[in-house]
């Protein structure tokens, strides 16, 4: 009979590494990481700027440094990993999960395991997805692709740059390309507020006098072979371009930082239930998906803005997988969660309090900038907790920690509502 692993982790990025480490520490013996790229670390490898690890390690690390800390833990715990290995399929066979992989050395491989942790991360939205009219020339990159060319391959992607979208990768790339000698003409953001972290606006745009044009979008791409310029336009409250506000900006490069999408192709094919709001799996407190024994964490569940929270979430999934294989995971759901319309989602969607030690952290985002507001948590009419903050913005994930003691004794739905202070 084939070997059956305790836990196989799909993806060796920040979520996968932390999940594997925690699973092993919590008692899973045979843990394996499958990574499709040529090294562990995932997208952190191309994030050479610093700012990672403040929450986890209390210091500022670069992306590769942050990854290295976890890679060292993986090595210290003797957790095996396979690189350049692509997972083609995940099958739920009840007792075991069957993973189909390929790589150059072993060819087509079948791996059986008792539990799986999905940590495939996310991908960037493209120009096709947002449907900018105009030509389709060379020189249009998602910010992450440009980052890979510059930081990993050592090649410049252009000299005169316009950036659409103020997501964090776009802001980081505005600074990176400026440092490499490119001129960044403008960052256009269709929303009236930025979609990146405030510190990135300050450190990546303001410090280099790069204009951030809020309520602006690109309405035409010029240039048949290589991009030659863009037409930008102001938009109204309904995000529709306003006639007469057209402005032509010559450029040879357009970077897009217009959102990230969890990569759930494998999850979907395997039959994992997906939450339409997050585009990620519906998960429990220990990040178990709708398929028992299949866990998920990191950007595959929800797009995070800080890697520290990815690691934290992955730790939960690792713990969950270890409990599962030790028959120690309760499936006794205490309650589910929901939000009002001012919040775009909440994670986790289901809670079994038996699996909770001392508290549950709920993650959520506001749909619009909210000042002088609080988020209240209700069971029915009963308010059980309140999250305060100076200002809630869509770009920053809110973590709302509620002690287990306050959650006990209720059933039904825990509802999160944005309300006046």
Partner 1 sequence: MFDIAIIGAGVAGSYIARECSRYQFKVALIDGESDVGNQISMANSAIVHAGFDAPSNKLKGKFNAAGCIMYGKVCEDLDVPFNRCGSLVVAHDEFEMLKLHELYKNGLQNGVPGMQILFQKEVHEMEENLADDICGALYAPDAGVVSPFELVVKLAENAVDNGVELFLDTVITDIENKEDYFLLKSNNQEFKAKIVINAAGIYADDVYEMVGDPYFELLARKGQYFIFDKEVGDLVNTVIFPCPSEKGKGILVAPTVHGNLLIGPDANPTEKGDISTTQNELNNIKITAAKNVPVIKENFGKIIRNYAGTRNTPIKAEFTTTDGDFIIEESPVKKFVNVAGYESPGLTSIPAVSFYVLNEIILPICRRENIEIKENPNFNPKNKKHIYFNDLSSEEKQELIKENPKYGKVICRCETITEGEIIDTIHRSAGAKSVKGVKKRCRAGMGRCQGGFCSPRVVEILSRELDIPMDEVSYDKKKKSYILNGKTKVVDSNE
Q: How many residues does this entry show for the chain?
A: 421
Q: How far is the CB of 194 from partner 1 (least distance, A)?
A: 22
Contact call for residue 138 and partner 1 (CB under 8 A): yes
The backbone torsions φ and ψ at residue 207, rounded to the nearest 5 degrees and listed phi first, read -65, -20
Half-sphere exposure of 324 (CA within 13 A, CB side): 29
Angle between helices 14-25 and 63-76 (to 10 degrees): 30
**For partner 1, the closer CB: 123 or 406:** 123
**For partner 1, the closer CB: 59 or 265:** 265
- The encoded tokens of residue 268 equal 């979907």
Contact call for residue 133 and partner 1 (CB under 8 A): yes
Among the listed residues 3, 94, 95, 107, the single contact to partner 1 using CB under 8 A: 107
For residues 79 and 17, what is the distance between their CA atoms, to the nearest angstrom? 10
Helix H or strand E segment including 72: helix 63-76
Could you tell me which of 106, 131, 98 has the C-alpha nearest to residue 5? Answer: 98
User: How does DSSP classify residue 380?
Assistant: T
Among the listed residues 63, 241, 281, 293, the single contact to partner 1 using CB under 8 A: 241
Among the listed residues 7, 142, 339, 349, the single contact to partner 1 using CB under 8 A: 142
109 to 128: interface string for partner 1, x by CB under 8 A: --------------xx-xxx
| Contact range with partner 1 by CB under 8 A, out of 72-80, 81-89, 312-320, 386-394 | 81-89
For residues 222 and 231, what is the distance between their CA atoms, to the nearest angstrom? 8
| Contact range with partner 1 by CB under 8 A, out of 96-104, 163-171, 186-194, 242-250 | 96-104
Contact call for residue 303 and partner 1 (CB under 8 A): no
Which residues are CB-neighbours of 1 under 8 A, at least 6 positions away?
none
Window 165 to 184, contacts with partner 1 (CB under 8 A): 180-181
Contact call for residue 48 and partner 1 (CB under 8 A): no
Q: How far is the CB of 177 from partner 1 (least distance, A)?
A: 10
Place of tokens 């395991």: 113
Beta bridge partners of residue 339, listed in sequence order: 416
209 to 228: interface string for partner 1, x by CB under 8 A: ----------xxx--xxx--
**For partner 1, the closer CB: 107 or 244:** 107
Among the listed residues 134, 259, 292, 394, the single contact to partner 1 using CB under 8 A: 134
Contact call for residue 343 and partner 1 (CB under 8 A): no
Contact call for residue 55 and partner 1 (CB under 8 A): no
For residues 320 and 330, what is the distance between their CA atoms, to the nearest angstrom? 10
How many other C-beta atoms can be found within 10 angstroms of the C-beta atom of residue 199? 11
| Contact range with partner 1 by CB under 8 A, out of 48-56, 95-103, 194-202, 315-323 | 95-103
Are the C-beta atoms of residues 252 and 260 closer than 8 Å to each other? no
Place of tokens 């770009």: 395
Please count the residues of this chain forming the interface with partner 1, following the rule CB under 8 A: 51
For residues 290 and 313, what is the distance between their CA atoms, to the nearest angstrom? 17
| Contact range with partner 1 by CB under 8 A, out of 59-67, 84-92, 307-315, 341-349 | 84-92
Contact call for residue 145 and partner 1 (CB under 8 A): yes
- Is residue 85 exposed (0-12), middle (13-18) or buried (19+ Cβ within 10 Å)? buried
Among the listed residues 1, 3, 93, 154, the single contact to partner 1 using CB under 8 A: 154
Q: Report the phi/psi class of residue 83: left, alpha or beta, with left for phi > 0 and alpha for psi in -120 to 50.
A: beta
Contact call for residue 239 and partner 1 (CB under 8 A): no
Contact call for residue 297 and partner 1 (CB under 8 A): no
Q: How far is the CB of 277 from partner 1 (least distance, A)?
A: 13
Window 310 to 329, contacts with partner 1 (CB under 8 A): none
* Secondary structure of residue 105 in the 3-state scheme: coil
Contact call for residue 185 and partner 1 (CB under 8 A): no
Are the C-beta atoms of residues 262 and 122 closer than 8 Å to each other? yes
- The encoded tokens of residue 210 equal 């790069």
Contact call for residue 84 and partner 1 (CB under 8 A): yes
Q: Point out which residues bind partner 1 (CB under 8 A).
A: 36, 84, 86, 88, 100, 102-108, 123-124, 126-129, 131, 133-139, 142, 144-145, 148-150, 152-159, 180-181, 219-221, 224-226, 241, 252, 265
């Amino acid at each position: 009979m084939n070997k059956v692993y305790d836990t196989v982790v799909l993806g060796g990025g920040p979520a996968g590494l932390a999940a594997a480490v925690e699973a092993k520490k919590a008692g899973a013996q045979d843990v394996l990481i499958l990574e499709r790229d040529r090294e562990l670390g995932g997208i952190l490898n191309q994030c050479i700027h610093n700012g990672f690890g403040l929450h986890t390690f209390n210091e500022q690390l670069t992306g590769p440094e942050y990854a290295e800390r976890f890679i060292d833990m993986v090595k210290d715990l003797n957790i095996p990993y396979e690189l350049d290995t692509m997972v083609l399929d995940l099958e739920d066979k009840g007792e075991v999960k069957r993973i189909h992989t390929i790589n150059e050395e072993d060819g087509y491989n079948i791996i059986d395991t008792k539990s799986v942790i999905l940590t495939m991360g996310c991908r960037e939205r493209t120009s096709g997805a947002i449907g900018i009219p105009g030509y389709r020339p060379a020189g249009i990159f998602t910010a992450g692709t440009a980052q890979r060319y510059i930081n990993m391959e050592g090649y410049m992607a252009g000299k005169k740059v316009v950036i659409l979208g103020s997501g964090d990768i776009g802001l980081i790339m505005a600074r990176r390309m400026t440092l490499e000698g490119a001129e960044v003409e403008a960052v256009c953001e269709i929303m009236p507020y930025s979609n990146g972290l405030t510190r990135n606006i300050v450190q990546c745009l303001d410090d280099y006098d790069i204009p951030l044009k809020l309520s602006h979008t690109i309405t035409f791409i010029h240039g048949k072979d290589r991009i030659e310029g863009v037409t930008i336009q102001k938009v109204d409250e309904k995000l529709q371009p306003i006639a007469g506000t057209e402005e032509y900006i010559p450029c040879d490069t357009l970077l897009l930082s217009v959102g990230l999408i969890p990569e759930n192709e494998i999850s979907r094919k395997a039959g994992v239930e997906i939450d339409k709001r997050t585009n990620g799996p519906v998960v429990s407190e220990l990040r178990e998906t709708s398929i028992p024994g299949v866990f998920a964490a990191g950007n595959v569940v929800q797009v995070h803005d800080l890697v520290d929270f990815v690691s934290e979430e992955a730790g939960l999934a690792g713990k969950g997988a270890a409990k599962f294989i030790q028959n120690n995971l309760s499936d006794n759901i205490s309650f589910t969660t929901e939000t009002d319309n001012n919040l775009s989602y909440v994670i986790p969607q289901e809670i079994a309090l038996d699996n909770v030690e001392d508290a549950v952290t709920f993650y959520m985002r506001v749909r619009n900038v909210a000042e002088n507001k609080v988020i209240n948590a209700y069971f029915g009419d009963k308010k059980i907790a309140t999250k305060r903050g100076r200002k809630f913005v869509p770009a920053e994930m809110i973590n709302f920690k509620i002690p287990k003691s306050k959650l006990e004794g209720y059933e039904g739905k825990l509802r999160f509502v944005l309300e006046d202070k």
